[in-house]
A and B are shown apart, each in its own frame.
Chain A
Amino acid sequence: MNPLGEKYLRKDFLPFLFCPGCGDGMIVQAFLQAVDDLGCVDDLALTAGIGCSAWIGVYMHVDILKVLHGRAIPAAIGIKATNPSRKVVTFTGDGDCLAIGGNHLLHAARRNIDMTVVMVNNQIYAMTGGQVAPSTAVGSKTQTTPYGNLERQLNGCKVAIAAGATMVSRWSTAHPKQLIKTFKKALNHKGFSFIEIMSQCPVQTGRYLLGSGSPQFNFQWLKDHCMKEEDPSKWAEIEAQGNIPVGDFLQVEQPEFMAEVARMNQRVKEAQAKGGDR
C-alpha cells in the first residue's frame, strides 16, 4: 500500500473489488491526492449509487452513503441540505448517472447546489456483465445489442452544461495530474460541478467493444482517443473522428442554492419578527 493508501483507505475493506487494470482504483488515488493536498478529509461526505464506480468512495476512510441505483445525487442533496459546510461528492457511473439517474442530474445541476458529481464513464454496464449504456457508441455489439447498438450516445458533459452546471470538466484515467487539479478546483467550487472521467474497463468495454481485454491496450486506447479541446465549437469535428474531447470546459459563478436558502430563511424570519407577511 502506498503512503496515500496507508493514510486514507479502509484497511479492513481491501482489496478493491475492481478487476485487474480497472480505472476506478486510479480515480480513488487521484481523488485522495486532491483531498490530501487540500486537507479537507474531515469535511467530506460522499454518496454513491450502484455499479463498479459506486464502490470508489467506499474504500476511502470518509463518511459515505451508498444508496440505490441512480439515486446518489438526491442522497447527496439531503446530506448537503442538513449541513451546507460539508463538501459533498457523488461517485457515479455512466449508466447510474445518465440512464436510471438522468433526471436527478438535470435537477441538481439546475439548482446549482454546491456538490460535485464524478461520473466515471466506461461506456458500458460493466458490473452486470457488459450491456449497452447511454454512453455506448452507435454500432457497438454488447450483450444486449448483439446486432449492433442503434441508439445514439448521450454526452454527459453537454447535458450538464445544458442543465446549468457551473463547472464541467472531462478527463480520463490517463490524465491523473489534470484530474487531481480538476478535483481540487471542484472541491473548492461554490456550485454544481460535474466531472466526467473516461475510464478503462478491460473486462467488458475492452473485450466486447475495443477488441482486447488487456489493461495496457485499454489504457493506451484512452491516451489515443482523448484529445484536449476546451472549445465546444470544435467538439463535433473531434467526435466525428471517434475521439473524445477532454479538458476543463466550463467554470462560472452563479448564485449557489444553499447560500440562497440561508438568505431566504433570514429574510422570512426578519419579516416575521416585524409582524409583516414575507
Chain B
Amino acid sequence: MKGAERIEIDRRYCKGCMLCKYICPCDVYDLGQERSDLDYLMPHVARIENCKVCGLCEQHCPDMVLTVVAKKKGKEKE
C-alpha cells in the first residue's frame, strides 16, 4: 500500500478554496484554523495515515500549493 510521508501546503499562495478536501477520496483534510500569507484559512492535514498518494488534491489545486510526498519504498512497516 502506498502512503504519504507528508503533505506540504505552500502558505505563501494558498487561497483556502478547500477543493483539496472536497476532491480527496480518503478524507485526509479538514478546514484548519491557520491563515495563509494571503489571509485565507488553510486546509489542515488531519489524517495523513489515510492518504494513498493518488495525487488528486495536487492535480486539482488551483494555486499549485500542494505537494504530496510519498513514503519511500520499504518504509511502509514503520
Direct contact between the two chains A and B in their complex (CB within 8 A): yes
Where the two chains meet, the residues of A that have a C-beta atom closer than 8 Å to any C-beta of B are: 1-5, 9, 14-16, 18-26, 28-30, 33, 173, 176-177, 202, 215-216, 219-220
Known contacts A1-B10, A20-B15, A21-B17, A15 near B63 by CB under 8 Å: yes
Q: Is B47 an interface residue (CB 8 A)?
A: no
Closest Cβ neighbor of A202 among chain B residues: B17
Kindly identify, within residues 6 to 31 of chain B, every residue whose CB is under 8 Å from any CB belonging to chain A. Answer: 10, 12-13, 15-19, 22-23
Tell whether, in the assembled complex, residue A16 and residue B13 are in contact, meaning their CB atoms are under 8 Å apart.
Answer: yes
Q: Is B38 an interface residue (CB 8 A)?
A: yes
Contacts of A173 in B (CB 8 A): 60
Q: A173 to B61, alpha carbons, bound, how many Å? A: 11
Tell whether, in the assembled complex, residue A28 and residue B64 are in contact, meaning their CB atoms are under 8 Å apart.
Answer: yes
Contacts of B63 in A (CB 8 A): 15-16, 18, 25
Contacts of A216 in B (CB 8 A): 18-19, 22
Where the two chains meet, the residues of B that have a C-beta atom closer than 8 Å to any C-beta of A are: 10, 12-13, 15-19, 22-23, 38, 40, 58-67
A25 CB, min distance to chain B CBs, angstroms: 3
Known contacts A2-B67, A16-B63, A215 near B18 by CB under 8 Å: yes
B20 CB, min distance to chain A CBs, angstroms: 10
B24 CB, min distance to chain A CBs, angstroms: 12
Tell whether, in the assembled complex, residue A215 and residue B64 are in contact, meaning their CB atoms are under 8 Å apart.
Answer: no
Tell whether, in the assembled complex, residue A215 and residue B12 are in contact, meaning their CB atoms are under 8 Å apart.
Answer: no
Closest Cβ neighbor of B36 among chain A residues: A15
Pairs across A and B, CB under 8 Å, 29 listed? A1-B10, A1-B64, A2-B10, A2-B61, A2-B66, A2-B67, A5-B65, A14-B12, A14-B13, A15-B15, A16-B62, A16-B63, A18-B63, A19-B15, A20-B15, A20-B62, A21-B15, A21-B18, A23-B62, A26-B61, A29-B59, A33-B59, A215-B17, A215-B22, A215-B62, A216-B19, A216-B22, A219-B19, A219-B60
Q: A256 to B38, alpha carbons, bound, how many Å? A: 46
Q: A9 to B61, alpha carbons, bound, how many Å? A: 15
A254 CB, min distance to chain B CBs, angstroms: 33
